[in-house]
Each structure stands twice: as structure tokens, then as C-alpha cells.
Structure 1
Amino acid sequence: MLTWKQDILVILFALSLPLLYHRRRTARDKLPPGPKPLPFIGDIVHVHSYGKPIIILNSYKAVYDLMESRSSIYSDRPHLIMLMELMGFPGTAFQPYSNLWRKHRSLYHKQMNQIAVQNYHPSQMAAAIDFLKMLLEDPKDYIQHIRRSAANLSLSIAYGRDLIHRFDQYLDLSEQVSGNFVRAVRPGEFLVESFPILKYVPLWFPGANFRRWAKMAHDKMQDAWNIPFRDVKEQMAKGNVPPSFVANSLVELGRSDESDFEVGAVKSVAGGIFAAGADTTTAALSWFFLAMTLFPDCQIKAQEELDRVIGRNRIPQFSDRPFLPYIDGLVKEVFRWFPVAPSVILIAFTSIITDHRKILHDPEVYPDPMSFIPERFLPDKDGNVPRDPTVSGVFGFGRRICAGRHLAEGFVWIMAVSVLSLFDIRPATDSDGKPIDVRYAMEPLPGFFCHPQRFPCVITPRSPEVVQLLNQVQF
């Protein structure tokens, strides 16, 4: 016999069946004609999940034909009821293709285009130096140091370094929001995505735990977006506010009323910079440390280039980048080896997923794809190089390509080159003195972003002068 809770679920399910049938029929009718698709065969895979059609693009050609050549059509996002309606997510990533999304992108482009990001080089250098000092003091906790440095950078860019005294409060909010976001977008996590009628269940209703969780997540998200934004506004009212995305944008607008469409967009974009930047950068740099642990020959070659070009008497700068081609290839290989973020767009009721990893592991383009080979991005005897992963997959495609990609790629570069210049990364050893095999870490952790499993490594200064070098640098 069914319980009263099960009775209610059955009734809600029955009421939602006509809507589900209509949506599925409409989606199927809009799919391109052709033979019944076979799963996991060819460049384009068509499957169903919870009655919703999903198309997976497995080749660069398929992605380019749809998401680049026809980007005006394939630029929407799936409408996630939990994230967008119940939690009220204001960020850019899952905004539909609309005037609001276009405003967000315009703000990003103005402040973070390839030229404008050079204004953030001092902030990126400062975050890198902070990380190196933490690494020197406590090398075993390097993952947490990466996360803290990436969040520090995101804070300084979005809201300014003068708010660093409230960093721990902001970081706590950001991490809670990030965790809630990951749960909200996890496929199959919430029944409301398959049965939208459940969103009308009141908070007080027995068994409505998902609604109460959504209310909590909504309130945390509002705090994360509102508190630092209003702190900047308060600083601006007092004068002498340092440059930041928020301050620069509000000065340009000449107003700060949050009910204003453009001011509200500035607040949403700033929250997205702080909330999203730390997780993706942490993932990429974690893969860097794993690669250096597993492929010591690559580390040796990179350090030989550094010693030849820069020496050991100073810390690398962004201006050194054109003279360090091997390290440039190494950073590209970090991004290609394990791309950190998925990409999902929408047409009608069909989700379209680009399989970044398959595209960037195509053996015809990148031979021996699971090996870490920075040399693949150096010109061959005919001057040819394979597709640059930072512009062909890692950061997405088409109009939905990551707006902060220049900033993220630059920060990973300065962090990697700084670490290689000052430190050695070696495998940890067991009680018998044998190197610990950490290849297991190449199996990514479950989650929205692609992180390696935790693994031990030994990080030591390359010379006694490292301490002196770090103490000399001021930002």
C-alpha cells in the first residue's frame, strides 16, 4: 500500500505526463532527420536521459560546424529549474541567450579582452608570489594554497585588493555557493528537473526538503553577490577606491542603483568572476602538479629553458613569455591533457554537449594523447603545430566561449613558470624509499569541474636563494 507521500508523488507524476510528452514530442520533431542513431558511434551521438534528448559532439569538425559556423542558433543554455528558478542563479554561465546575457558578455569583453587583461598582470603576479611563499612554508598543502591564491586573485580583480581584510568571509561564501551550484547542476540530483510541477510545492509541505534546500542556497547566493558588491559601493562613496571590475564599471556607468539593469549586470558578472574563477584555476594547476610529478623529464626541460633565458637571480615576469616557447607549450599541454570544464548548450529542448576531452585527445591531431608532451606545440620542421587547445576546446566554443579565458590562461602560465623557476616537484616515497605511484590520480574526481584525485608529491626549493628572492619582491 502506498504512503500518503507516495500518493502525492504519483498524482504529481500523472499531472505532469502530458507536459513531458509534449516537450519530448516537440524536441524530437525538431531534431534533424536521419536514421535511428546508434550510441557512441561517430562524431555525433544522440541519446536520451530522463526522456530528454541529448546530442554529444565528439569531433572538432562537428563542434565547429554547429557551434562556430552556426553560433547564433547554438548559443542557448539548458533551463535548470533548481538553479535558475528556485535558487535564482544570477551568473552568466547558465543565462539564456538574451539581452541580459549579451550585456554580461559586453561587460566581460570590455574589462577582460586580450589587451585589457594586461591591466591585471600586477594582481596576478601578487597572487603568484603569495602562493610561492605559502608553498615555501607548507609545501604539503599545495592544493589548498592554489585554491586560496586563485580566490585571492578573483577577489582583487572583481572587487579590489583593499577588501582583502574580509577575504575569509568572502571565500567562505564563495565556496558554499560553488558547492551548491555543483549540486544543483548534477544530472538526476533533483526530481524537479524531470517533473517541473514540483517547483510549486510549498516550503512547509511534508517531504519538500528540496524546496527548503533551494531557499537556503538562494539566500547564500544572494549574500555572495550582494555583500562584496555593496562593500565596494561603500568604499566608492568614501573616495579613494582601488581599481577593480566593479569600481571601473560603476565609474563608467556613472550610477550604482542596483535596480538599474546595467548596474545589476555588473553585480552579477562580478559575483561570477569571484565564484567561478577559483575552482577552474585550481583544477588546471592541480593537473600541472600531477604532470610534473609523473613526467619529470618535462620539468627538467622547462627548468633548463628558464635557467638559460632568465637565470636564477629573479622571478619570471609576463614580459618573459615570448622567450619561453617550451613552457608555453607545457601550459597548453596542461589544458589539453585534462580539460577542466564541460560545455552544454541548448536548442529547443535538446541539450548539446561538446566532449572536450575526446576532441583534445584525438590521436590524429594529438598523437599518444594520454602522455604529457609539451613538444607537440613547438613548430615542426615545416613550421606546423596542432590546434591550440586554449582556442579550440578548453574554454568552450562559439558565442559561449569563456569570457575570462585570457585571464585564466595567463594566471595558469605565471603560476606554472614561477613554480618551475623556484621549486622542484618530485614523487613522494614510501617507507622503503620507493617512489609512490600516483597514476591513480589521473582518474578524475566526480563533479562538475574536472579535478585529479589527491596525490602526494615532494616540493622543495631549487636553491637557498629562493627565500631571499621572495622577500625582495613587493606588490
Structure 2
Amino acid sequence: MFEAMNTPSYAILFLVAALFSLGRRLARKTATGASLPLPPGPPTFPIVGNALQLDSVAPWETYMKWSKTYGDLIYSRLLNQDVIIINSERIARDLLDRRSYNYSDRPMLVTTELFGWTFNVGFFCYGDKWRKHRRMMDDKLRSTAALAYRPLQMRKAHQLLIDILEAPNEFVHHLQMMTASTMMLITYGYEAEHRDDPLVDLVENAVMQGLKVMTPEAAAILGAWPFLLYLPSWFPGAGFKKKAQESRNMLNEMVEKPFEYTTSHMDSNEATACMVSDVLGQIKDEGNYVDLDVVKNVASTLFAGASETTTATLVSFILAMVLYPNVQEQARAEIESVVGRDRLPNFDDRDSLPYVEAVVRETQRWHPIAPLGVAHAAVNDDIYEGYYIPKGQLLLFPVADKLLTWDSFSGATVIANAWAISQNEANYHNPSDFNPQRFFTVDGKLNDDKVLYAFGFGRRICVGRHLADASLWAAIASLLAVFKFSKALDEQGKEINIEPQWTAGLTARPFPFACNIQPTITMEKLHQMIDQFA
């Protein structure tokens, strides 16, 4: 259908979009009146709004800079899309938590449909479909249910230690394999190969490609000029269509292939207990009907969401240990004082290792892996501290060969800037420093700040946060007990300086960096310590 559109059709399409946008803005002004202004924000330019003022690599930093001039609740416009930015935890809690009934919706980004992410529960609009999926996720991942996965998570953390001891220079790959194989086992009962596993590679490639485009900033151009969707893929500047098709194909395989693995093994009575087999087995035993697409969506959402975020957090942890050697020395000393040198830490030790706990919290605060989280949208118009926040309004617009319910022209996208919250100097002294001590009270006890904003807000808070928290603690405590991280040396024996940089997209992880990883025990000793858990 893209290729069938001719030049006059593009012009008509663009004219309709422009007229709709203009009409919506005029209607808003009429409805709200002069007494209900939008939040303050930087001056907008014709057509582009504030798009040219954004740091395209780190828009969260631009949003935080704006707060120094315009406050913690800001209005901006990216081309044709209104964006409300929240730069403080107080306002985020007021709106997204205490008014979660109104801010649990999602803006419908055109890239969601275009790149094949419609399976992902995290991007669903608020409503019955989302509730059906969320109930299944909550049932399998609530805090008490997540306890059942701890032995598996610790086993994978121990395998990580062996892998890094064998090939320390490949530590990023080992971290990826730990998180991916953990989630594949929990979700599908699939034991991944250590290298070149086809299912793990498929998922990682699909997720990494999608994370670059699943942001309001990335979707803004297509949202403003939808006629671009009808350009043939060979047309200059329309190369995104080929990438979109590749993404849709990969994501379809990601949803279907692991599910087929589990169901085929259930048919032959060879399936390992996992989320998918538990749900399908329960359905069979109780004779209840359930849409299999719900099971597929839930499983693939959990795997896609947990795999990259946990890996990125652990890469940040190792980067921090290299840059702040005093922190790892203090953490290792605490582990040795509580656990000793003849065994590895386990979950029973967690309450006795408060400094390690603070390291986990500081890792999540230092550079939030999802700096802007996943955008929210208001269900109804709202007023907060005298400012007007418009609701989303649905617009049917043709994409590919069907009508897409698209919100890119209407309502405001609401973004909670986790980066700004994490860098708030009023709460975190010298926020750019990695300092676990900030999580202790004056009497030496852990404070109440658990950095929950790293997992989102309100009813859309990350459902897998309990699982992620346990995986992070198991990996971090184990790594601190066995390895010493330091800067790599060049050929002259001098330390190689590291200038930390992070990738752009829905999630952010450190760019590759060289480091030196030295074990504090032998491989034989490590195996003896791991065998104690058997």
C-alpha cells in the first residue's frame, strides 16, 4: 500500500494532518481559557517546536537543564507532539502515583506499530486488554511468587563467576548471557547455550534495534509528517521502512519461537517447569479458556524487558567499581566480615550486608538505565498547581495496510525524567559521584530511599522489579566476593583513562570500556564454594 500512494496523496495526507493539528490546538485554547495555562517551558519555533533544542543522544539532560529556568513541570513541543516533562519525584508521585487512575495510559507512538512492538504489554493503552495481561504478570511475579526463582538466579550468578574467571575480557557477553539465560529459563524453561544461542541472539538483536526507536523523541518525525510512511523504501530518507520490516520479522519470531519450544516439549512431556508451562498446564487442568496471544505477549514482554535492563545495570556496576575502587574495597571487606572467605554470599546474608545493599541502590541511581522511563498519557484533562495537562484523544490513521489508533497528534505525552530525579542535588549531594554512603542515616542504618523511581511509577511500575532486584543483588554480591575490578593498562603499563559515555534510546548502557578483572580465588576454590550450594 505504501508504494501505491502517489504525490497528490502525500499532499492531501499532510494537509489533513496539519488541519487536524491546528484545529486541535484552537479547540484546546477555547476549552481551557486563559486561566488554565499549560506548564511553562522554553520558547517553541514554528513547525519544529523544541526539537532542535534537544540533545538527541541524551534528551534527559536537556529536560533537566530546562528545569533550572522553568521549574520541575515543563511543557515542550516536539514537532507536532505536546510533551509534559516531570523533573522531580514529588510531582511524579503526585501525578503518576496518587492520580494513577488518570495517568496510567500510554501515548500511541507510531513506531510501536511500525516496528512490531504491539506485543509488548508495557506499551499497551490503559484498559481491559492491559488489565488482562497485567493480572497474569502480577500473578507470576509478585514479591512472594518471585521467591521461587531465587535458587535459579543464584545458580546463574555462580555460572557468571566461572565464565568471567575463564574469559574476563568478555565480561559484557557473560553478563548478557546470565540475564538472558535466567529469563529464558524462568519464562520458557529453555536452557540457553553459552555462545551463539539462536534464540538468545534473536531476542537480543530484536530488542537492541527496537530500543532505539521506542521513544517519543524518535517517533516525533513520523508523528508530525505521516506521509513519510507511504514513501517507497528505496526513496531517499525512507530507509527506516526496511529496518521496520526487519524489526517486525525478528519480533514475530521472538514471540513465536520460544513459545513453540515450550509447547512442543509439553506435548512430549519433556518441558521444564516455567511460567508458560505453568499457565498452560493450569488452563488444561481447570478447563479454562485463555487467549494464547495473552500468554505469548506476557512471556515475550517479560523476557524482552528484563534481559537488556538487567544487563545494562550490571555493566554500569562494573564501570563504577573500576572508577571508584574504594567502594568495592569497602563492600568486599563487609562481605568477608560477614560471609568469610570459604563460601559465597547467599540471599540469607542480604540483611547483614547493608553496604552491599547500598551499592545496589547506588548502581540504579548513578545512571538510571531507563532515564526517561516509558511515557505516560492522561486519560482525562487534568489541572495541577494551576497548570493544564491535556488528555490523549484517539485518531484513526492509516499505517501499512490497516487503520492504526494513533495518538501522535493529540493529547500530551507525560514523561517522568528519572535522570533528573536521580541527579537532584537537594536529595543527592554531588550526584555525579558514585557514593553508596548517601543511603545511610546519621546513625549508620539504611534509609528509606530504595530508588523505586528507576522502575517507573503508579500502576505502570515495572512488574518484574522484584525479580530484577534479586538478580542484581545475587550478581553484584557474588562479583564483589570473587573479583577485583580496576583500570586496564596500556603497553607502557599506564592506566587507560575512562570517559564514561552511555548509549541513547529507551534504555542506556555504558559504551564499551577496557578494564582489568582479577580473581581473588582460584578456579578450584570457586568450584568448591559453588558446590556448597548444591
Q: Given the two structures, how large is their TM-score scaled by the length of structure 1? A: 0.90
Counterpart contact for 1:16–1:197, Cα < 8 Å: no
Partner of 2:37: 34
* 1:78 aligned residue (93, 104, 107): 107
Match runs of 1:19-418 below 5 Å: 19-25=20-26, 33-34=36-37, 37-39=40-42, 40=66, 41-84=70-113, 87=116, 89-162=118-191, 168-186=197-215, 187-188=217-218, 191-196=221-226, 199=229, 201=230, 209-254=239-284, 262-341=291-370, 342-343=372-373, 344-347=375-378, 348=392, 349-381=411-443, 385=447, 387-389=449-451, 391=452, 393-418=453-478
Partner of 1:18: 19
Amino acid at match of 2:309: T
3-state SS of 1:149 partner? helix
Counterpart contact for 2:488–2:495, Cα < 8 Å: yes
Counterpart contact for 1:159–1:247, Cα < 8 Å: yes
* Pair 1:471–1:331, CA change in 2 (3 A): closer
Matched residues in 2 for 1:234 and 1:338: separation? Answer: 41
Matched residues in 1 for 2:102 and 2:356: separation? Answer: 38
Matched residues in 1 for 2:292 and 2:195: separation? Answer: 23
Q: Which blocks of at least 5 consecutive residues in structure 1 are unaligned? A: none
3-state SS of 1:45 partner? strand
* Pair 1:165–1:469, CA change in 2 (3 A): closer
Matched residues in 2 for 1:319 and 1:414: separation? Answer: 11
Partner of 2:383: none
2:505 corresponds to 1:444 = no
Amino acid at match of 1:424: K
Deviates more, 1:102-111 or 1:293-302: 102-111
Amino acid at match of 2:454: V
* Pair 1:250–1:30, CA change in 2 (3 A): farther
Matched residues in 2 for 1:281 and 1:58: separation? Answer: 24
Q: Which blocks of at least 5 consecutive residues in structure 2 are unaligned? A: 43-65, 379-391, 393-410
Counterpart contact for 1:158–1:246, Cα < 8 Å: yes
* Pair 1:372–1:190, CA change in 2 (3 A): closer
Deviations 1:97-135 (A, max 9, x none): 011211221111111111111111122112112211110
Matched residues in 2 for 1:403 and 1:362: separation? Answer: 26
Matched residues in 1 for 2:315 and 2:483: separation? Answer: 15
Matched residues in 2 for 1:85 and 1:26: separation? Answer: 29
Counterpart contact for 2:115–2:248, Cα < 8 Å: yes
3-state SS of 2:122 partner? coil
Matched residues in 2 for 1:437 and 1:163: separation? Answer: 35
Counterpart contact for 1:428–1:435, Cα < 8 Å: yes
Counterpart contact for 2:115–2:245, Cα < 8 Å: yes
C-alpha deviation, 1:468, in angstroms:
3.7
Deviations 1:183-232 (A, max 9, x none): 43242467432234555x38789676544443332222111101111211
Amino acid at match of 1:388: K
Q: Given the two structures, how large is their TM-score scaled by the length of structure 2? A: 0.80
Matched residues in 2 for 1:98 and 1:163: separation? Answer: 35
Matched residues in 2 for 1:30 and 1:166: separation? Answer: 59
Matched residues in 2 for 1:229 and 1:140: separation? Answer: 33
Amino acid at match of 2:531: Q
* Pair 1:204–1:386, CA change in 2 (3 A): closer
* Pair 1:257–1:214, CA change in 2 (3 A): farther
* 1:462 aligned residue (484, 508, 520): 520
Matched residues in 1 for 2:135 and 2:196: separation? Answer: 28
* Pair 1:400–1:413, CA change in 2 (3 A): same
Matched residues in 1 for 2:38 and 2:222: separation? Answer: 32
Counterpart contact for 1:66–1:74, Cα < 8 Å: yes
Partner of 1:419: 479
Matched residues in 2 for 1:18 and 1:459: separation? Answer: 60
Amino acid at match of 2:253: D
C-alpha deviation, 1:386, in angstroms:
5.3
Amino acid at match of 2:466: H
Deviates more, 1:327-336 or 1:380-389: 380-389
Matched residues in 2 for 1:460 and 1:86: separation? Answer: 42
Please provide the CA RMSD for this pair.
2.9
Counterpart contact for 1:89–1:221, Cα < 8 Å: no
Provide the identity percentage: 29
Partner of 2:531: 472
Amino acid at match of 1:173: L
* Pair 1:436–1:70, CA change in 2 (3 A): same
C-alpha deviation, 1:176, in angstroms:
2.5
Deviations 1:2-58 (A, max 9, x none): xx9877644432232222323444566677913771332211011101121101101
Counterpart contact for 2:283–2:290, Cα < 8 Å: no
3-state SS of 1:298 partner? helix
Counterpart contact for 1:103–1:262, Cα < 8 Å: no
Counterpart contact for 1:133–1:470, Cα < 8 Å: no
Amino acid at match of 2:435: I
Deviates more, 1:284-293 or 1:242-251: 242-251
C-alpha deviation, 1:372, in angstroms:
1.3
Deviations 1:375-417 (A, max 9, x none): 222232296725220x2x1000101100001111110111000
* Pair 1:88–1:310, CA change in 2 (3 A): closer
Deviates more, 1:183-192 or 1:368-377: 183-192
Matched residues in 2 for 1:263 and 1:26: separation? Answer: 42
Deviations 1:320-377 (A, max 9, x none): 1111111011101100111101321112120011110111221222212111111222
Matched residues in 2 for 1:291 and 1:143: separation? Answer: 14
3-state SS of 2:376 partner? strand
